[in-house]
Structure 1
Amino acid sequence: MSASRRPAAEDALLLTVVQLVAREGLHARGIELAHVSRAIDGFVNELPSVWSLANAYAKTRSLRCMQFVAPKALQPSYRTWVVNNVVEMTLRHGDVEALKWVAERYAPESSLTKAAVVAAAEGRLDVLQWLYQRHYSRVHWGGAEWCEAVRAGHKHVVEWLDCHVKPHVEAAPRLMLDAARAGDLQLVQSLHKNYELPVVNALVEAQKSCQWGVAMWILMSGEVEDPHVDMDLVAADGDVDFLRWLHRWLQQHRTEGCDPTALSRAVAGGHLDVAMFLRRERGLACSFRRDEILLRGLRLEMVQWLVTTCREELEQGVQLQVARPDWHFNDRMRDQDMQIVSQDDSNVVWKWSPRR
């Protein structure tokens, strides 16, 4: 049967075998057998004509396959799109050899900005250094690669970029927000100083990501007029040290009270020290409502504090889920006159319904 008439399943199986032989049997061991390579090449050269360079690599992860498909690849107007796709795939799979072939042989004039961006996202400092040393002019430096490295938390890449690549003015505002979300206070400070950027949006993003060190610096800087601090987020996150600092700061700079739901958020998160602080220093009451929330995974100490301290504020119907094997915890729930509303092999759900 000719190659053009083979069933699709047989094609897929044979192609898999060819890939295995080429990758594991030859190339991975540094073996170069010309006659075997030619035989494999003969088969690979019969790959579907509709395959683009991206198709070839996506299906085979083979540099040799890309080399055969390359002469039949898409027209020049699509070359940048194809190169970007292939560059991303090769980097995601750590295939630097294929990346270098695409950059230096297949498309020696194409932009490699996408390669720098993906390398930064993947933490591949070696690739960034290669691009910087060998193909500097083919990368639009100082933008997206900075943001990707910061978002991914690759500090070694960020440190290298800080020494070699200055963020360009257009990218600096977005980079500051990424730095605030990632908790990179040094970068936030640097961007604020060198680009004279406002920090009001950085304060918002830092709070959303619970980066309280960044939030603290912005509040202390006095750069934000009438700043808003989301006490609910602080309580839910459980950072009692920042909460204590924030309490002192609010006493000195603000007059408004604290959102009453903050204590409930702390309880739901199992943060006993935060709940006790909010109760004692801010005078907050619990605001759980009937059938509103099912408290899961709380420690016994938290539940004991809750039913002792906030007993009069809890409405009947508040539910607590306890692991079934924890017989001591379940006994304490029974001692508090709670009622079982459901149970299975893993958990028991108790309803707060004490005697009046």
Structure 2
Amino acid sequence: MSAGALPDPDTGSEDKAMLTAAYVVCRECLGSRGIRVLDHVVQLIDAFMDTFSGPGAVTKACKDGVSVRKLHYLATRDIGSHWKEAASFAATCGHIHVLRWLSTFHPDRCDWGPAIMNGAALCGHLNVVQWLHANRSEGCTVHAMDSAVRNRDLVMVQWLHSNRTEGCSKAAMDSAAAAGNLPLVQWLHTHRSEGCTTRAMDWAAAAGHLETVRWLHDNRIEGDAGRALRAAASNGQLKVVQWLHAARGREQSDDMDTQAAFEIAETHEHPNVAEWLVTHQKRYAPLETEPSYQGCRASHEQERRRYYLVLEYPVSYLRRWIRRTCGGNSI
């Protein structure tokens, strides 16, 4: 680099760009005294004065979405580093100009992969997803559409469905049901083939989404009304309990699932559910009035199943998942 001119950071040159202040001081103060400006001295002064660049500066700049001019400047001062998460940060923060700069000038200095588009879809940046689709070849995974479903982002879901081939997983409809997003559940049912699992009805029941439970019961084959009844009882969802109890029919009113639902409601301190169930069932025998659990497990098949339903049904993980998916005020 010549001593008389500063480099243009927009060119992407790998020559070190010097701070204007450092260069001017050296040129004016030293040059006026007949002292030749030494580039390495200017660089040392520059490094001392510079608080903008340094380790991790490029990655942070990509996350912050700074201008291309600043990105060029920082890159010329950090020649050897690998900016591992730079593209990921740019995608999740919605900075297309940063992704374009990385892909054009430094494609090998950061990590690319399906996780980049997944992250953009998770954060709702459709324009970034579209840019990656058009300009990069890494694609995405089922997590992209799954994340869009969890975010209730139907526009993103529809675009991925129309333009990508990765699809979604069963977790997509499960999470839509857990959130009570019936229109999205119906859209997935109509346009996708992945289906759902029994968790869809269980989680919808636990969260109190009656219309979603009814639709799943009538239109999908994966759910089990007995499991859903227990899930609803565990969270005190009386209306869902009442509907499922009626939907299962009179012939099932005395089965183990319903008895377990009563005892689960009592265990989790939902007296309104327990009282309703006890008035709509002919027989209840609380566990504490019966033979020991160990004896039941050893000798009576029905009581062994009942023991499983009451004590081993995963209510705790169900509650945690519903809170994480629907928010703290949903249940």
Shorter-normalised TM-score: what interval?
0.5 to 0.7
Residue 119 of structure 1 is matched in structure 2 by 120
Matches within 5 A, 1:143-154: 143-151=142-150, 154=151
CA contact (8 A) 1:176 1:191 kept: yes
Quote how far apart the aligned CAs of 1:190 are.
Answer: 3.1
Distance in 1, Cα, partners of 2:274 & 2:59: 55
The answer to whether structure 1 residue 279 and structure 2 residue 281 are counterparts is no
Residue 20 of structure 2 is matched in structure 1 by 35
> Which amino acid in 1 is paired with 2:79?
P
Greater share of strand: 1
Residue 88 of structure 1 is matched in structure 2 by 88
The answer to whether structure 1 residue 57 and structure 2 residue 47 are counterparts is no
Quote how far apart the aligned CAs of 1:192 are.
Answer: 3.2
Q: Mark the runs of 5 or more structure 1 residues left unpaired by the alignment.
A: 1-32, 75-81, 291-356
The answer to whether structure 1 residue 207 and structure 2 residue 208 are counterparts is no
Counterpart of 1:187 in 2: which secondary structure? helix
CA contact (8 A) 2:180 2:212 kept: yes
TM-score relative to the length of structure 1: 0.50
Q: Please provide the CA RMSD for this pair.
A: 4.5
Counterpart of 1:107 in 2: which secondary structure? coil
Quote how far apart the aligned CAs of 1:272 are.
Answer: 3.7
Counterpart of 2:165 in 1: which secondary structure? coil
The number of aligned residues is: 238
Which of the numbers 183, 186, 199 marks the counterpart of 2:183? 186
Quote how far apart the aligned CAs of 1:207 are.
Answer: 0.8
The answer to whether structure 1 residue 101 and structure 2 residue 101 are counterparts is yes
Q: 1:87 to 1:178 in 2, by over 3 A?
A: farther
Which of the numbers 162, 168, 177 marks the counterpart of 1:171? 168
TM-score relative to the length of structure 2: 0.53
Counterpart of 2:20 in 1: which secondary structure? helix
Quote how far apart the aligned CAs of 1:59 are.
Answer: 10
Distance in 2, Cα, partners of 1:160 & 1:222: 24
Quote how far apart the aligned CAs of 1:277 are.
Answer: 1.2
Quote how far apart the aligned CAs of 1:67 are.
Answer: 1.8
Q: Mark the runs of 5 or more structure 2 residues left unpaired by the alignment.
A: 1-17, 24-42, 290-331
Distance in 2, Cα, partners of 1:288 & 1:41: 78
Matches within 5 A, 1:61-80: 64=71, 67-68=75-76, 71-74=79-82
Counterpart of 2:139 in 1: which secondary structure? coil
Counterpart of 1:71 in 2: which secondary structure? coil
Quote how far apart the aligned CAs of 1:107 are.
Answer: 2.0
CA contact (8 A) 2:87 2:99 kept: yes
Distance in 1, Cα, partners of 2:288 & 2:157: 51
Identity of aligned residues (%): 16
Matches within 5 A, 1:156-167: 157-163=153-159, 165-166=161-162
Quote how far apart the aligned CAs of 1:234 are.
Answer: 0.9
Distance in 2, Cα, partners of 1:61 & 1:196: 37
Counterpart of 1:282 in 2: which secondary structure? coil
Distance in 2, Cα, partners of 1:60 & 1:170: 29
Higher relative contact order (CA 8 A, sep 6+): 2
> Which amino acid in 2 is paired with 1:42?
A
235-244 vs 138-147, greater mean Cα deviation: 138-147
Question: For residues 113-153 of structure 1, what are the alpha-carbon distances to aligned partners after superposition, in whole Å with 9 as ceiling and x for unaligned?
Answer: 43321122233x3xx214415752426257322112223xx
Q: 1:89 to 1:129 in 2, by over 3 A?
A: closer
Distance in 1, Cα, partners of 2:224 & 2:230: 18
Distance in 2, Cα, partners of 1:205 & 1:264: 23
Q: 1:169 to 1:147 in 2, by over 3 A?
A: same
